[in-house]
Amino acid sequence: MVQAEVLTPATADELVAALARATPHTRLLAGGTDLVRDIRRPGHEPDVLVDLTGVREFAGVRLDGDLLRVGALTTFTELQHDPLVREHALCLALAAAQVGSVQIRNAGTVGGNVANASPCADSATALTALDAAVVSIDGAGVTRTRPIGDVLLGPNRTSLRDDEAIIEFAFPALGPEYRTAFTKVGSRTAVSVARLSAALVMRFDAVSATLADVRVALGAVGATAFRDGAVEALLEGRPADAEAARVLADGCVAAVSGSIPDRPSLPYKRHAAAGLAYDSWNALALCPPCEPAWG
Amino acid sequence: MELLLTVNGSLYEVNVHPTARLLDVLREDLGFTGTKEGCAEGECGACTVLVDGKAVASCVMLAVQARGKEIVTVEGLARDGELDLLQQKFVEYGAVQCGFCTPGMLMSAKALLLANPVPSDQDIRVALAGNLCRCTGYSAIIAAVKAASGQEATPLMELPGAAEELAAEVQTDPDTLAAAREAAEKIAGLGPAPHGEA
C-alpha cells in the first residue's frame, strides 16, 4: 500500500502551503465520513492527504452584516443547533438534523458534504435554496467566491481544482419575514440517504398574505441539487393558501418528471415529489395544513 | 507516522500508517478490541467511540484526526472492576444478546447521557439511530438507557406465552442464570478482552 503523506495544517497559512503541494492524486479530508471509505479502495490511495479539520478558523457560524457565513468545517451537529443558523437559515439546520446518524453528524461537515458532491447531499439542497456562495482558497493563497451552482457539476464532480479547498459558505441572512423548510424522503425515517429532498425559502408578506422571493430547490433527482425556476415563478406573488400548495406540488412533480424521464424510479418519485411538496409547504405553517388530492 | 493518542485517560505513543483508521489503531495497535468493526462504512455503529465526549464512528475517522483529543472506548466505562451504571442496566434489562453491537450501543448511550442526563424515549431513539442491533429488537436497550438515567423504564411488551415459559425456566435455574449473567457482563465490556480476541 502506498504510504500517503498526511499534512495537518492548523492555520490558513499552513493550509495554503499544504494545498500548494496538491497533485491530481491529493485528497482533502474533512469529517471523513465519505472520504475514509473511498481512499481505502485499492488504487484510490492518495499521495498527499490534507486533513482540514485542524484549521479551526474555518469552523463555526457568524453574522457579517447582512451575510451569514458558515465555515466549511462546521459539523452537521453544530449546524443543527447553531442559534444563528436556526434564526437566519432554518432549512439548513433542518437539513443538517436529517443527515445520517448522530455519529455521522458529529464528524461530517458541510464543506465536505458539498465537496463530495453526492446528488443526495442534504446540505446542498438547502444551500441551493439559500442562494449560497462558496468561498474557497487555493495553493497560491487566492480566495474565490462563486455560486454553489457553479461548484456542483454532477455526481461526485465539482469545479474545485486539485489545490482548492472550500473554506466557507456565505448567503444573505434571512429575516423574520422569511419562512423556510427542508424535507426529504428516504428508505426509512432516520439514518437515510435521500431519494428526494426539497428546500423551500420564501418571504411572506403578512399584510397581503402573499409569497415573494420564492425559492424551491430539489435534491437527489438529478445530477446535482437545482432550483426550479418554473414553479418559483408560478408561486411568486400568489396568496399563501391551499392553491399555492397544489401549484408547488404540481411543479415539483413536473420537475422530477423532467429531470429523470427514463429512470425506473420515476413513478415512485412522482408520487414522492407530491407528498414531499405538501410536507414542506405545511412545514412553512403559512396556512392551515393542506392535503394532496391523490389520484 | 508517530501519533500521540489519549485513550481512556492514558496517553499512548503509536507509530501508525498515515491513513490508518482510528478503529484499526484502537483494536490492533492498542488492543482495545471492545470496539467492533461491522459495516466499515459508518452505517452500523458497532465501532462507536467517544471523541471529546461525542459519539463518532471510528471506522470512518482516521487516527490522525483524533490527535490531541480525548478518546473513550467501551473499556473506559468500567471503573475499578465495577461496571458503569449504564452497563449494569444493560445486563439487568437483557439489553445484550449476541453482544456485537453492545459496545457501540453503550458508547452512543453514554454520549447521550453526558449531554442530556434525563433523555426522553425519543431522545434515546435518535441517539441510538446509528446503532444497528439484529437481536434485541431495541426495546430492552431503550429501557436500559432510560433506567440508567434514573427514570422509570418504559415497560417492555408482554412476552408471548412460550417465551414467558422459557424466561421462567431460566429464572428458576440458578446455573443457567449465572452463566447468562456472566456472559452478558463479559460482553457488556468489563475490562478489555485479551489482545487478539475479537
Give pLDDT, residue A123: 97
The two domains B2-76 and B85-156 share their CATH topology (first three levels equal): no
Percentage of the residues of chain A whose pLDDT score is greater than 90:
85
Q: Please tell me the distance in Å from A27's CA to the nearest CA on chain B.
A: 12
Options 3.40.50.300, 3.40.605.10, 3.40.50.2000, 3.30.465.10; CATH for A1-174 is 3.30.465.10
Q: Residues 105-124, chain B: which have Cβ within 8 Å of A?
A: 108, 111
Min distance A132 CA to chain B CA atoms (Å): 28
- B105 vs A129, B45, B84, B132, CA distance in Å? 36, 7, 14, 8
The answer to whether B130 contacts A102, with C-beta atoms less than 8 Å apart, is: yes
Q: Report the pLDDT value the prediction gives residue B143, as an integer from 0 to 100.
A: 95
A223, A158 in Cβ contact below 8 A?
no
Per-residue pLDDT reduced to its tens digit, A100-110: 999 999 999 99
The lowest-confidence range among A221-230, A261-270, B73-82, B124-133 is A261-270
Mean pLDDT of the A72-98 span: 97
Nearest chain A residue (CA) to B46:
A103
**Residue A2: predicted pLDDT:** 59
CA distance B170 to B159: 14
Quick one: pLDDT at residue A192?
Answer: 83
In sequence order, what are the beta bridge partners of B21?
A: B62
Q: Which residues in chain A are closer than 8 Å to B126, comparing Cβ atoms?
A: 102, 190
Q: What is the pLDDT of residue A47?
A: 96
* Residue of B48, B60, B125 to mutate, testing the A interface (most A Cβ within 10 Å of its Cβ): B60
Task: Indicate which of B56, B69, B131, B145 best probes the interface with A, i.e. most A CBs within 10 Å of its own CB.
Answer: B56
Across B154-173, b (16+ Cβ under 10 Å) vs e yields eeeeeeeeeeeeeeeeeeee
**What is the distance between the alpha carbons of residues B119 and B170, in angstroms, rounded to a whole number?**
32
- Strand A48-51 with A27-29, pairing: parallel
pLDDT value at residue A193 = 86
pLDDT of res. B160:
39
* Residue pLDDT, tens place only, A66-79: 999 999 999 999 99
Quick one: pLDDT at residue A263? 85
Looking at residue B191, the DSSP 8-state letter turns out to be S
Q: For domain A178-284, give the CATH superfamily.
A: CO dehydrogenase flavoprotein, C-terminal domain (3.30.390.50)
**pLDDT, tens digit only, all 198 positions of chain B:** 999 999 999 999 999 999 999 999 999 999 999 999 999 999 999 999 999 999 999 999 999 999 999 999 999 999 999 999 999 999 999 999 999 999 999 999 999 999 999 999 999 999 999 999 999 999 999 999 999 999 987 665 543 344 455 455 445 555 555 655 565 565 555 444 444 444
Average pLDDT over residues A86-96: 97
d(CA B65, CA B60): 10
Contacting A residues, span 169-228, partner chain B, CB-CB under 8 Å:
190-191
CATH of B85-156 among 1.10.357.10, 3.30.1310.10, 1.10.1660.10, 1.10.150.120: 1.10.150.120
Give the minimum alpha-carbon distance from B3 to chain A in angstroms, rounded to a whole number: 12
Q: Where are the domains of chain A?
A: 1-174, 178-284
Q: What is the pTM of this model?
A: 0.89
Q: How many CB atoms lie within 10 A of CB A223?
A: 14
Minimal CA separation from A192 to chain B, in Å: 10
What pLDDT score was predicted for residue A186? 85
B48, B62, B131 ranked by CB distance to A32: nearest: B62
Closest CB to B129 among A34, A39, A102: A102
What's residue A293's pLDDT? 79
Copy the grid coordinates of residue B163.
Answer: 417465551
For all residues of chain A together, what is the average pLDDT?
Answer: 94
Residue A224: pLDDT over 80 = yes
Domain edges within chain B = 2-76, 85-156
Q: Which residues of B touch A34 (CB under 8 A)?
A: 60
Contact A102 B21 (CB under 8 A): no
CA angle, A256 as apex, A253 and A261 as ends, to 5°? 120
Q: How far apart are CA B157 and CA A98, in angstroms?
A: 29
Asked whether the predicted pLDDT for residue A194 surpasses 90, the reply is no
The answer regarding whether domain B2-76 maps to CATH 3.10.20.600 reads no
Alpha carbon A265 to its chain's center: 22
Q: Does residue A272 surpass a pLDDT of 50?
A: yes
Q: Identify the band that residue A27 occupies on the pLDDT scale cut at 50, 70 and 90.
A: very high
Q: Is B181 in the A-facing interface, judged by CB distances under 8 Å?
A: no
pLDDT of residue B189: 54
